[in-house]
Amino acid sequence: MNTGNPNHKLIHSLLMGDVEDPYLMAAFPLGAFMETEKGKWVDENVIDRVFYCVPHEASMGFKIVVYGEFKTPEAETYYRLKYTKDEDFSNW
């Protein structure tokens, strides 16, 4: 997905069922994410965060994707080593 910023990296994603207003409904799980250890770290080390709700045909719902720009290359390396799983690297 092109966010308009070439430095944006995928930070977090989640699936949501079919709802009338996906942006309103995304606020709850995204708020819960920001209260986790990973979310707090992202809050301190990632700038220019944006999220999008895109249709997800396989679940007949929406995929919420959060992108952002890491403050430093070291922060990006730390994030990749600590918080990503192997399958997440296909999104970089």
- Tens of pLDDT, residue by residue over 33-90, are 999 999 999 999 999 899 999 999 998 999 999 999 999 999 999 999 998 875 555 5
Tokens 């296909």, residue? 90
Query: E-assigned strands of 44-85?
Result: 46-56, 61-70
Judged against a pLDDT cut of 80, whether residue 7 lies above it is answered with yes
Q: What per-residue confidence (pLDDT) applies to 85?
A: 74
DSSP 5: -
Q: What per-residue confidence (pLDDT) applies to 5?
A: 84
CA distance 21 to 27: 11
CB 65 within 8 A of CB 52: yes
CA distance 92 to 85: 12
Q: What is the pTM of this model?
A: 0.82
Give me 57's structure tokens: 């045909």
Collapse the DSSP code of 11 into the 3-class scheme (helix H, G, I; strand E, B; otherwise coil) and give the result: strand
Q: Which pLDDT band holds residue 92 (cuts at 50, 70, 90)? A: very low
Q: State the average pLDDT over residues 15-36.
A: 92
